[in-house]
Copies of this chain bind each other. A is one copy, B any other.
Amino acid sequence: MSIQTILNRRFVFSIALVCASHGLAQESTSTPTATPSPYSAQTLTELKQLQQAALASDYAYRQVAHLSNNIGPRLTGSAQAQKAVEYVAAELKALGLEVQLEKVTVPHWVRGEETAALVEYPGMAEKTTQKIILTALGGSVATPASGLTAEVIVVRNFDELQSLGREKVAGKIVLFDYHFDKLMAVQGHGGEAYGEAVRYRGDGPSAAGKLGAVAALIRSVGGAEYRLPHTGQTNYAKDAPRIPAAAVTAEDADLLASLVPQGPVRMRLLLTPQQLPDAVSYNVIGDLKGSEHPEEVVIVSGHLDSWDLGTGAIDDGAGVAVSMQAANLIQQLHLRPKRTLRVVAWMNEENGLAGGKAYAEDHANDVANHFAAMETDGGAGHPLGINYSTKETKGLLEPVAKILQDSGAGILNFAEFAGGADLGPMTKLGVPGFSPIQDNRTYFHYHHTAADTLDKIVPRELAENAAVVAVTAYALANLEQPLPR
């Protein structure tokens, strides 16, 4: 999940919780309607079959296990990302889908060495240093090959930085010590907490660079503290010098915030990432042709690329896996959607969105036939229901929510930017977007870290997500009327 997704989604989960606590979803699913049912009786029966089959199946778990354990980290441009493209394409073919690899030109950034140490600080034992644990932000430029050494200054926010001015910032390493709001996150507002803090990851390096800083550090954006740095993309402004940028762990930020007021603190910093020439990669697209409206498409998707520190299990092997599972279950149960179900495994969500943009360009003439689009990119936590991007859609989703309520996922939540970042270019053109509402209370503990690994996924909860995705996608593919756009 990238910055853009987060900023779009920040209120989604919290609103959903509010609805849940007031029992609004329950009420809404029982609202009587005078219009004919938007689904045939057969479709409703099939949706229940899909739900039960999803909850009983380990197919999605086996898919995410393969992506994370057997293939591993899948940073855009890497051999592992390519391997994942080939793997998912082969799996979708094995399911009987019509598979296309749609070419995407992607950025190719690679991590290098990343070390830091304090070489001067109050109380330091002579001829020693103190290790600082950090990780380069995605897109960061490198330090000189021999590293750089400079004094560290600490600011809590952009205002503090500005108040220091160029004189006190020039030549320094700036640490943005903005704290992720853990209390907010634990109450289900992780997206909001993340949205606040991630601004420093995105814009901090350029803000510091404009004042002459030689490097920028941020306090890791995330909710747990096990000396674990969290990476993620930074966004250099066009009018700012590009300076090396990294995220230190919460503990290291605390250490610096403690030492700096006591006297001069100097850090040696080495980052050797490289921006290689753009590479060729692919969105993997698998179609299960519709029986009545094959030209109309319902997308069900996740993103195949991941950050490189962990193995991309929750971000976003899980999303790809539940999308594959939707097609698998439909085939297993010998169902046939009326519209075409299109499974998409997007490339480059994390550091460029090249996949989503290329798809929108390549399919620009076919936007009207994109009936609906769904993306799962919030981990694998227990789903509470469905986010939808078009207010008028709610009534059409109520019969679906009634079924999903059986697995605790009956909430319907309007969210203007429902759907993932990859869908942004399409939803902006009017394609209705959908996504599962997911429990993200621990998501930001692991997100973009070395600890985004398979064990963070509870198989039962992944199956619950697969149920929401399969049921919703199949319902949309079989809806007996148009979706409001």
Contacts and interface: CB of A to CB of B under 8 A. Distances in A.
Interface stretch (A126-134, A162-170, A239-247): A126-134
A447 to B, nearest CB: 12
A451 B225 contact: yes
Nearest to A446: B226
Interface stretch (A250-258, A369-377, A386-394): A250-258
A156 interface: no
A226 B122 contact: no
A8 interface: no
A254 B453 contact: yes
A134 to B, nearest CB: 12
A260 to B, nearest CB: 11
Interface in A219-255: 224-228, 250-251, 254-255
Given A79-B127, A125-B79, A228-B228, A254 B71 contact: no
Interface string A322-359: 00000000000000000000000000000000000000
A454 interface: yes
Most B-side CB within 10 Å, residue of A72, A254, A445: A72
Interface in A408-459: 445-446, 449-451, 453-455
Contacts of A446: 226
Nearest to A118: B72
A78 B131 CA distance: 14
Contacts of A251: 451, 453-455
A56 interface: no
A445 B226 contact: yes
A470 to B, nearest CB: 25
A79 B451 CA distance: 33
Nearest to A74: B125
A70 interface: yes
Contacts of A83: 123, 125-126, 128
A106 B438 CA distance: 54
A65 interface: yes
B227 A125 contact: no
Interface range on chain A (Cβ under 8 Å from partner): 35 or more
A184 interface: no
B70 A123 contact: yes
Contact of A227 (B124, B128, B453): B453
A121 interface: yes
Contact of A449 (B70, B227, B445): B227
A320 to B, nearest CB: 15
Nearest to A452: B227
A402 interface: no
A82 B127 CA distance: 12
Contacts of A73: 130-131
B70 A259 contact: yes
Nearest to A253: B455
A88 to B, nearest CB: 13
Interface in A46-82: 65-66, 69-73, 78-80, 82
Contacts of A191: none
Interface string A253-269: 01100110010000000
A310 interface: yes
Nearest to A70: B123
Contact of A454 (B79, B254, B453, B454): B254
B122 A70 contact: yes
Contacts of A122: 70
Contacts of A124: 70-72
A126 B83 CA distance: 8
Given A70-B121, A79-B125, A226-B446, 6 more contacts: A70-B123, A72-B128, A78-B128, A226-B449, A228-B228, A258-B454
**Which 3 A-B pairs rank lowest in CB-CB distance, beginning with the nearest?**
A70-B123, A226-B226, A83-B125
20 contacts: A65-B258, A70-B122, A71-B123, A71-B125, A73-B131, A80-B125, A83-B126, A87-B123, A130-B311, A224-B226, A226-B227, A226-B449, A227-B228, A227-B451, A227-B453, A250-B455, A251-B451, A254-B453, A254-B454, A254-B455
